[in-house]
Amino acid sequence: MDDTGVPVEIPPTVRRIVSLVPSLTESVAATLPEALVGATDWCSHPPDLDVARVRGTKNPDLEAIEKLRPDVVLANAEENRAPDIEALRQAGIAVWVTKIETLDEAFASLDRMFRHACRTGRPAWLDAAEEAWRAPVEGPRRTAIIPIWRRPWMVVGRDTFTGDVLRRLGVDNLYAGHAERYPKIPLPELVERRPGLVVLPDEPYAFSATDGPECFPGLTCALVSGRMLTWYGPSLVEAPALLRRALSG
């Protein structure tokens, strides 16, 4: 069964994989590059990825996916739409859905995905990633807000992979207890919370030194790589060191 508890009939040998999630695309490309035959337009890593493109995570080209004759399609419960997943299954295609909200879930989910959905062994980079995240948190804990969009302003809320990554680095999300996972919060309220950090990733909204920090006068802003903060895959190996450096200013 996949992460959502759905039984998935995977052939004994997997030679053709389509990935509908950038993180999973990078993971397969680093592990079974010869098997990866399709990915979304948003799959940007590795930079030289040369496979068929099947549109976006929210609007995949189902007909194009069928024509690629995949042994399995890799998806994610948050990034991909349930109707698209169901349509692929109705077409007789095996779809393995991951569900990842914490680092520990990422490590376990990726291990299961490779062993069961991709019919291969546990990749060495996954061991390296787990080892990289074993380092203890040093120094006092800090609080943060994590905007992911503006016009309207949206932030990271409850039960997110991003929030858990920051927690493991000693940074506590002030909106971790919000009822929504990505709530819309007026800018004045965000400023009034007076967080120790305003963490500004470069995706999905491309916050930069000239677009974002000016809205939080008097607060410490940390510009970080969205890939390091939100992707689960080979990037997890270098993410702890890079994020610690970015968060420290």
What does the domain layout of the chain look like in residue ranges? 17-122, 142-247
pLDDT number for residue 139: 83
Average model confidence (pLDDT) across the chain: 96
State the Rg of the chain over Cα: 19
pLDDT number for residue 231: 95
Choose which CATH entry (3.20.20.70, 3.30.300.30, 3.40.50.1980, 3.50.50.60) describes domain 142-247.
Answer: 3.40.50.1980
Grade residue 3 by pLDDT with cuts at 50, 70 and 90: very high
Q: What is the pLDDT of residues 158-190, one digit of tens each?
A: 999 999 999 999 999 999 999 999 999 999 999
Q: Could you tell me which residues come within 8 angstroms of residue 26 by beta carbon, excluding any fewer than 6 positions away?
A: 43, 45, 46, 231, 233, 234, 235
Question: Among residues of the chain, what percentage have pLDDT more than 70?
Answer: 100
The verdict on domain 17-122 having CATH code 3.40.50.1980 is yes
Q: Could you tell me which residues come within 8 angstroms of residue 152 by beta carbon, excluding any fewer than 6 positions away?
A: 184
Mean pLDDT, residues 231-249:
94
pLDDT number for residue 8: 97
Q: What is the DSSP letter of 55?
A: B
Q: Could you tell me which residues come within 8 angstroms of residue 90 by beta carbon, excluding any fewer than 6 positions away?
A: none
Mean pLDDT, residues 147-164:
97
Q: What is the pLDDT of residues 193-207, one digit of tens each?
A: 999 999 999 999 999
Mean pLDDT, residues 219-246:
96
pLDDT number for residue 32: 97
